[in-house]
Amino acid sequence: MPKKLVVIGNGMAAGRVLEEFFERAPRPYEATIFGAEPRVNYNRIMLSPVLSGEKAYEDILIHDDAWYETNGITLHRGKQVVQIDREAKRVTAADGTTADYDKLLIATGSVPFVVPIPGVNLPGVVTYRDLDDVNTMLAVARMGGRAVVIGGGLLGLEAAAGLKAQGMDVTVLHLMPTLMERQLDPSAGYLLQREMEERGIAVRCRANTHAVLGETHVTGVKLDDGTELPADVVVMAVGIRPNATLAKEAGLETNRGVLVGDDMRTSDPDVFSVGECVEHRGICYGLVAPLYEMAKVVAAQLSGDGKAVYTGSVTATKLKVTGIDLFSAGDFNEAKDGQDIVLRDVARGIYKRIVLKENRIVGAVLYGETADGSWFFDLMRKEADVSAMRDTLIFGQSYGGGSSLDPAATVAALPNDAEICGCNGVCKGKIVQTINDKGLSTLADVRAHTKASASCGTCTGLVEQVMALTLGDRFSRAATEPMCGCTDLGHDEVRRLIRAAGLKSIPAVMQELGWKTSCGCAKCRPALNYYLLCDWPEEYEDDGRSRYINERIHANIQKDGTYSVVPRMWGGLTNPRELRAIADVAEKYDIPTVKVTGGQRIDLLGVRKEDLPAVWADLNEAGMVSGHAYAKGLRTVKTCVGTEWCRFGTQDSTGLGVRIERFMWGSWTPAKVKMGVSGCPRNCAEATCKDVGVICVDSGFEIHFAGAAGLHIKGTQLLCKVAGEDECLEVIVALTQLYREQGHYLERMYKWADRVGVDAIRAIVVEDREKRRALFERFEISQRKAQIDPWAERAAGRDAHEFDPMANFSLAEAAE
């Protein structure tokens, strides 16, 4: 029987231990994890980009459900361990779940430090530690208003920048005279404060908070000097302390944190500890790189390598606020008696300081220009003697080496053991070797195999340069596939920034996101037009010039420049009046071809462009509207006759199809959406190869989705089963809205589902009733402006210039 490993805590340190551990085959242990948070392991240091809106939770997942499954790990999520019985070798969670262990790993992390002042328990006071905190802040930020952040350290400033990006008025209160005083000297602290203030964030240093004000909810804070600041939310970000309570109660030796030796074992040799809860040689760490270094040692020890030791870490910090370049390594309080080398460029806002002690770098601060950070850090960790290059040291590596300022040259000059990724301790040589050994060519692969740039991502540029050096011409920088040649940003990034920065027009997007062309191209403009239309349905005015011809003209262009016209037939139903009108139109305008489509309606092919408005007017007259057969939008809802006529029908499939089509017509989507409703599992409406398909059964409705029958043939997947028509409609609408909000332009529903995962979609539109409702409501809002028949508008004269030639000389006499 395999031995049992129990892990308490499902954070980054624990996750990394297991990852390192599983890489060392064979596996002598069966692992069980208890996580207090109700979710899988995610990248906690990326919470700030989630708060600012630049990333989504899904982007910062480290291990998905499949990972736990593949590795045979039992994950107890949302279960907090309350007791360790070292005698019986058993842990017990709050809900009574128990697990026996042979080896135990305590990875309980840290808890935010909350200043003990009156009012800190009021609703509206939040800490900044996990995703729940971020969600709480986002919920408040959505209503606007004021935020006070207590603490001007790394965490506090990232929180402040995130809340500001979400549109709040933000004030940072900091007890010390300058910001981030543990990592920065006063000069860099000042530059940082100025930068924050330029972004509209108020900063008060030397501000001691006396009390949090409010009766039933936070209304403000009061400072020691009597000043009162109004606030709708107060974020406590003054620091963290190791969470060693559980270990202490179990009788393990603790001080500030859980005491461990160089072998990462606690005072009980069967119990290891790792991460922020640990105290090693008198130091508690709060950054990710040391945790990963510890994790390596724990994994080695667990695999039987008794020689592996952890001897402490030298740390460096980067601030993850977009647009602020800040690097710091070493401790400036301890570096007081060192010798300084300082470079200032006031106009450009650049400040660099290196502290030397006995010809060795003991600290470095770089502000405004941080490219040489890893080089300085490397010299510092190696305790290299820098006396020979002291004169030019501050100008960085490229100057010291006399080579050009080309960043690629800088990277080329780095030695193989220079650290590229600080979070994961990956050096240049390892990246080069892995690329060559495994034949890697994409950033995603390099990340997967080396972990370089897989955590905070700030070294992505460096990793790419190493790739470029190693691969030469074979390297194409396609980390995120850019939308088009006009930008380096991918679809996800653009969509997120449109929302986060409140960009509401195509010129605003291009200006703010640094488009490389003056007015985009035929790839990005339709995508942006759709994204803006989807995200700001009430404010954004559709830009016809950024539509493909079919959507601009509301008909389908044919090879000879004529058009085809398809009126809507709700659920495939028609009647003699409509058919007569179609026949009349076909004769009146000499329409050469009339054809029945696969979507159960009639196509009039070969209509001259200048005839379109008149054709539409005639069809409108008979009560018909545009079928959007040309649209990246809802096309058809194909139905069978159901209980109305069919002897096998179980539900009114025709009625449901008509109802869905009536509710959803006119909506724009990333790519075309076709639906079908079949009245029984015989599936005459072919619902299981549609984007959304319903199969009626006696007991209700099966909702299928993510099918296609075009370039690719793809059967649908079952989303869920519901009992009633109302619920069926709600789920389908919510699903479509989620696709509208997440899909990349031109990405069919099945591709979107492949990309984000069926489970993730189901968790939102099926299992979370609140989110489903919210999606439904957002769709309803966008339909208010979408459900206007474009044919009627144009028959009434809109965009007349599209249809009329400017001048006609076709009968003029030839010049020859």
Binding site for [4Fe-4S] cluster: which residues? 640, 646, 680, 684
Residue among 342, 405, 448, 521 that touches other proteins (CB under 8 A): 521
800 binds other proteins (CB under 8 A): no
389 binds other proteins (CB under 8 A): no
State the sign of the Cα–Cα–Cα–Cα dihedral 19, 21, 27, 30: negative
Query: For residue 369, what is the DSSP state?
Result: -
> Considering the complex, what minimum distance in angstroms separates the CB of residue 816 from other proteins?
6
Which window, 162-170, 187-195, 423-431, 802-810, contacts other proteins (CB under 8 A)?
802-810
**Own/partner pairs for 720-725, CB < 8 Å, 24+ apart?**
720/762, 720/766, 721/697, 723/699, 724/700, 725/651, 725/656, 725/659, 725/701
424 binds other proteins (CB under 8 A): no
Output 596 or 711, the one with its CB closest to other proteins: 711
711 binds other proteins (CB under 8 A): no
> Considering the complex, what minimum distance in angstroms separates the CB of residue 813 from other proteins?
7
Which window, 430-438, 663-671, 722-730, 805-813, contacts other proteins (CB under 8 A)?
805-813
What residues are paired with 161 via a beta bridge?
A: none
Give CA–CA dist 715/728, Å, rounded.
20
Return the ∠ at Cα 25 (arms to 23 and 28), rounded to 5°. Answer: 115
> Considering the complex, what minimum distance in angstroms separates the CB of residue 507 from other proteins?
10
605 binds other proteins (CB under 8 A): no
Residue among 525, 554, 772, 794 that touches other proteins (CB under 8 A): 525
DSSP state string for 194-249: HHHHHTT-EEESS--EEEEEESSSEEEEEETTS-EEE-SEEEE-S-EEE--HHHHH
763 binds other proteins (CB under 8 A): no
The amino acid that residue 71 corresponds to is N
Output 102 or 802, the one with its CB closest to other proteins: 802
Which window, 40-48, 367-375, 541-549, 579-587, contacts other proteins (CB under 8 A)?
541-549
Q: In a 3-state reduction of DSSP, which class is residue 342?
A: strand
Give CA–CA dist 109/15, Å, rounded.
12
Output 559 or 647, the one with its CB closest to other proteins: 559
> Considering the complex, what minimum distance in angstroms separates the CB of residue 809 from other proteins?
5
Which position has the token pair 């001080």? 255
Output 557 or 641, the one with its CB closest to other proteins: 557
3-state secondary structure 533-570: HHHCCCCCCCCHHHCCHHHHHCCEECCCCCEEECECCH
> Considering the complex, what minimum distance in angstroms separates the CB of residue 656 from other proteins?
37
Output 36 or 524, the one with its CB closest to other proteins: 524
* Closest by CA position to 124, among listed 203, 32, 233, 275: 233
Residue among 87, 337, 797, 809 that touches other proteins (CB under 8 A): 809
> Considering the complex, what minimum distance in angstroms separates the CB of residue 565 from other proteins?
16
Output 711 or 812, the one with its CB closest to other proteins: 812
Residue among 11, 396, 520, 537 that touches other proteins (CB under 8 A): 520
Q: In a 3-state reduction of DSSP, which class is residue 91?
A: strand
Residue among 80, 499, 548, 686 that touches other proteins (CB under 8 A): 548
The answer to whether residues 166 and 85 touch, using CB atoms and an 8 Å cutoff, is: no
347 binds other proteins (CB under 8 A): no
Residue window 489-518: x/- pattern of binding to other proteins, with contact defined by CB under 8 A? ----------------------------xx
Output 698 or 813, the one with its CB closest to other proteins: 813
Residue among 549, 709, 720, 758 that touches other proteins (CB under 8 A): 549
546 binds other proteins (CB under 8 A): yes
User: Total number of residues binding other proteins (CB under 8 A)?
Assistant: 31
> Considering the complex, what minimum distance in angstroms separates the CB of residue 516 from other proteins?
11
Contacts for 583 with CB less than 8 Å, ≥ 6 apart: none
Residue window 551-590: x/- pattern of binding to other proteins, with contact defined by CB under 8 A? --x---x-x-x-----------------------------
CA 782 vs CA 53, 668, 728: distances in Å? 22, 9, 20
Helix (H) or strand (E) holding 495: helix 491-500
815 binds other proteins (CB under 8 A): yes
CA 321 vs CA 91, 376, 462, 510: distances in Å? 40, 22, 18, 21
Which window, 115-123, 295-303, 548-556, 670-678, contacts other proteins (CB under 8 A)?
548-556
Output 510 or 624, the one with its CB closest to other proteins: 510
545 binds other proteins (CB under 8 A): yes
Torsional class of 665: left (φ above 0), alpha (ψ -120 to 50), beta (otherwise): beta
348 binds other proteins (CB under 8 A): no
Output 698 or 809, the one with its CB closest to other proteins: 809
Helix (H) or strand (E) holding 317: strand 316-318
Phi and psi of 19, rounded to 5°? Answer: -60, -50
526 alpha-carbon distance from chain centroid: 23
CA 152 vs CA 180, 187, 227, 630: distances in Å? 6, 15, 18, 54
Q: Which two tokens stand for residue 155?
A: 């965490």
Output 557 or 573, the one with its CB closest to other proteins: 557
DSSP state string for 217-232: SEEEEEETTS-EEE-S
Output 1 or 811, the one with its CB closest to other proteins: 811
> Considering the complex, what minimum distance in angstroms separates the CB of residue 814 from other proteins?
5
Contacts for 187 with CB less than 8 Å, ≥ 6 apart: 342, 344, 351, 353
Contacts for 614 with CB less than 8 Å, ≥ 6 apart: 589, 795
The answer to whether residues 730 and 768 touch, using CB atoms and an 8 Å cutoff, is: no
806 binds other proteins (CB under 8 A): yes
Output 27 or 608, the one with its CB closest to other proteins: 608
Q: Report the interface residues with other proteins, using CB under 8 A.
A: 517-522, 525-526, 545-550, 553, 557, 559, 561, 801, 805-816
